[in-house]
Amino acid sequence: MPPFRSGIHFLQIPGPTNVPERVLRAIDRATIDHRGPGFAALTLEIQSLLRPVFGTKGPVVIYPASGTGAWEAALVNTLSPGDRVLMAETGQFAALWSALAKRLGLQVEIIAGDWRHGADPEAIEAALGADPQHAIKAVAIVHNETSTGVTSRVADVRAAIDRSGHPALFLVDTISSLASIDYRHDEWGVDVTVGGSQKGLMLPPGLAFNAVSERALAASKHARLPRAYWAWDEMLAANRDGFFPYTPATNLLYGLLEALHMLHEETLPAVFARHARHAEAARRAVGGWGLEILAVDPREYSNTLTAILVPEGIDADRLRGLILEHFDLSLGTGLGKVKGRVFRIGHLGSFNDLMLAGTLCGVQMGLDLAGVTHGDGVGAALAYLAAPSASPVLAAV
């Protein structure tokens, strides 16, 4: 048996995130008949509140699945066996998506990366420019690379695709940015946006999303990769009347409706500003500690998580272990190439100043325990959070 832990566990990994009480209470209701009359109203209200979160007026498919399912759905609905897909290796999640694409029989062309930068618009433009026959059928990138804390500039990638005059579809994974960082499916000409429930949407794991453009829908009529569970056509046909072709995750949908009400009560611009402010405070803490973050380009700093490099000779996972053991705080591990070299602080979803302050205190005490020489990062973060210019409350009065 693990030791008894008093008080609240700090779940500061970059997803799953802390599920707010309002969402937990909403889920805690009797499951209803998903073919009965009450269900359609639930689906239709969710649809109308969910679309603005993606920045789309078009359909958003909701699967009972983890985010990985929505990755697969985006590919199998739009592509055919042997199609070429251009992907940017921004980190572990981009690498996993490209591995999944290969397993499906797609030819993946990877633009290599150093895991410290986002998808490079110029490199994408060059790769598309070198394909005058238009053999590349899709460009697929991760908006916010959860393994590195780097946010790709989706609008700039869109502009690069447009400059090349290439007709490839544009697929974007927003699993760790949706409902946290500004995102505009329609305006940025994204064809399929992939989302998941357990990060910015403040829900438990178990729902996954595809926002679908008209071009993507048209491509799905001719795409020949086999698909059944993930097929958009049956889903969209049933959704029109508020139903699903198979049993949906009813209780997670109750939670989704409540989470959407919360996001719209706060308003999306305020949600994005809150995430930006907490991310800035976290980076000031890292600076105060005298440590370095993985992201190098300030235009690409993530507002949902910060990946921090530990000094040479320190094992980031040992540090995380000490912090969990002593302070009941879970931090994100280094994934793939950066295992042991970084730890990640998630500051997304249902979150506020004192949760961030507590998290940063836990890290700073952990640095002491691990014998890492450091400055007062907590002080730097608190000074920022308390400054009138950075306070949303003081700015409003």
Integer angstrom CA distances of residue 312 from 6, 105, 316, 339, 341: 34, 41, 10, 13, 8
251 touching ligand PLP, by CB under 6 A:
no
Spatial separation of the C-alpha atoms in residues 143 and 149, rounded to whole Å: 10
291 touching ligand PLP, by CB under 6 A:
no
* From 67, 200, 349, 362, residue interacting with ligand PLP (rule: CB under 6 A): 67
CB of 290 to ligand PLP, least distance (A): 28
Residue 392, classed as helix, strand or coil, is helix
Q: Read off the DSSP letter of residue 337.
A: G
196 touching ligand PLP, by CB under 6 A:
yes
Interface of this chain with ligand PLP, residues 352 to 371, rule: CB under 6 A: none
CB of 308 to ligand PLP, least distance (A): 17
Q: Identify which of 64, 60, 40 has the alpha carbon closest to the alpha carbon of residue 50.
A: 60
Q: Do the beta carbons of residue 76 and residue 210 sit within 8 Å?
A: no
Pairing verdict, β 84-88 and 136-142: parallel
* Stretch of residues binding ligand PLP (CB under 6 A), selected from 66-74, 102-110, 123-131, 155-163: 66-74
When the beta carbons of 177 and 364 are compared against ligand PLP, the nearer one is 177
* From 10, 39, 63, 93, residue interacting with ligand PLP (rule: CB under 6 A): 93
CB of 67 to ligand PLP, least distance (A): 3
Interface of this chain with ligand PLP, residues 115 to 174, rule: CB under 6 A: 142, 146, 173
Question: Which two tokens mark 152?
Answer: 């790709």
CB of 174 to ligand PLP, least distance (A): 8
190 touching ligand PLP, by CB under 6 A:
no
Measured at the alpha carbon of residue 31, what is the angle toward residues 27 and 33, in degrees to the nearest 5? 140
Q: Do the beta carbons of residue 383 and residue 377 sit within 8 Å?
A: no
- Residue 103 neighbours by CB under 8 Å, 6+ apart: none
346 touching ligand PLP, by CB under 6 A:
no
CB of 72 to ligand PLP, least distance (A): 10
Residues at the contact surface with ligand PLP, assessed by CB under 6 A = 15, 66-68, 93, 142, 146, 173, 175-176, 196, 205
